[in-house]
Chain A
Amino acid sequence: DSGVTQTPKHLITATGQRVTLRCSPRSGDLSVYWYQQSLDQGLQFLIQYYNGEERAKGNILERFSAQQFPDLHSELNLSSLELGDSALYFCASSVVPLAGWPRETQYFGPGTRLLVL
């Protein structure tokens, strides 16, 4: 158990819908990262938040958005869902970006498996 929690574990929805994925980082971790893992694209970095602020952006679609709340949990919002959005979405957390770089390790949650029908 990494200490990172994600809900829900599975999500089935229809095209055009909107869903919210939730992540709670490990205790003490200030950074949260979101990744998408699909069969054809592999593991893709989406976005990172540090202590409530967006810090880095990867291959995140405009239909997707995220935020990190004062209690450090994070939510990833996916809207106007398409079949191709079906994937495993991971949240990862780490302590502080600057301290211990580049040794700082990300710890992954169990993932949310999204199926868009």
Chain B
Amino acid sequence: AQKITQTQPGMFVQEKEAVTLDCTYDTSDQSYGLFWYKQPSSGEMIFLIYQGSYDEQNATEGRYSLNFQKARKSANLVISASQLGDSAMYFCAMRDSSSYDKVIFGPGTSLSVIP
């Protein structure tokens, strides 16, 4: 069965520093997609970045990049030059052929950026 694990319930990072949020996943499929979402205290879910299992390069979107290690089944989110506005919950999620019509979410990591 598909599963997403985020082992860091809470993280702190100094403003302007980089931070890595961990995500490991479990699937038996060869074709799947991985997503990261941000949920600030206001509650909305904001899509950040996508990585496909067949993508040869790690995904990047502005200050967000994804450290994709397929053999280890990990898809860590790297946020560079952290800003105070990055303080939020971050969710890793996955879709594979077993969950074709839905996305499975991990438990989330709470990130706090310290001035």
**A interface residues, Cβ below 8 angstroms from B:** 2, 33, 42-43, 45, 48, 50, 55-56, 58, 88, 90, 92, 97, 101-111, 113
Q: What chain B residues lie within 8 Å of A106 (beta carbons)?
A: 47, 103
A105 to B103, CA, bound (A): 9
Min distance, Cβ A32 to any Cβ of chain B, angstroms = 11
- Picked from A2, A43, A102, the residue with its CB within 8 Å of the CB of B105 is A43
- Picked from B37, B44, B47, B52, the residue with its CB within 8 Å of the CB of A102 is B52
Asked if B44 contacts A101 (CB within 8 A), the reply is: no
- Total interface residues on B, CB under 8 Å, equals 24
- Picked from A42, A55, A105, A111, the residue with its CB within 8 Å of the CB of B47 is A105
Min distance, Cβ B14 to any Cβ of chain A, angstroms = 28
Closest to A98 in B: B100
Tell whether A97 pairs with B100 under 8 Å between CB atoms, given A42-B108, A43-B105, A102-B95: yes
Q: What chain A residues lie within 8 Å of B47 (beta carbons)?
A: 2, 105-108
Q: What chain B residues lie within 8 Å of A105 (beta carbons)?
A: 35, 47, 50
Q: Which of B71-112 contact A (CB under 8 A)?
A: 91, 95-96, 100-105, 107-108
Min distance, Cβ A98 to any Cβ of chain B, angstroms = 9
For the complex, is B32 an interface residue (Cβ under 8 Å from A)?
yes
Q: What chain B residues lie within 8 Å of A111 (beta carbons)?
A: 43-45
Asked if A103 contacts B33 (CB within 8 A), the reply is: yes
Q: What chain A residues lie within 8 Å of B45 (beta carbons)?
A: 90, 92, 108, 111
- Picked from A42, A45, A55, A109, the residue with its CB within 8 Å of the CB of B103 is A45
Q: What chain A residues lie within 8 Å of B31 (beta carbons)?
A: 102
- Residue from B45, B47, B105 having most chain A Cβ neighbours under 10 A: B45
Closest to A47 in B: B102
Closest to A41 in B: B107
Asked if A43 contacts B35 (CB within 8 A), the reply is: no
A107 to B35, CA, bound (A): 12
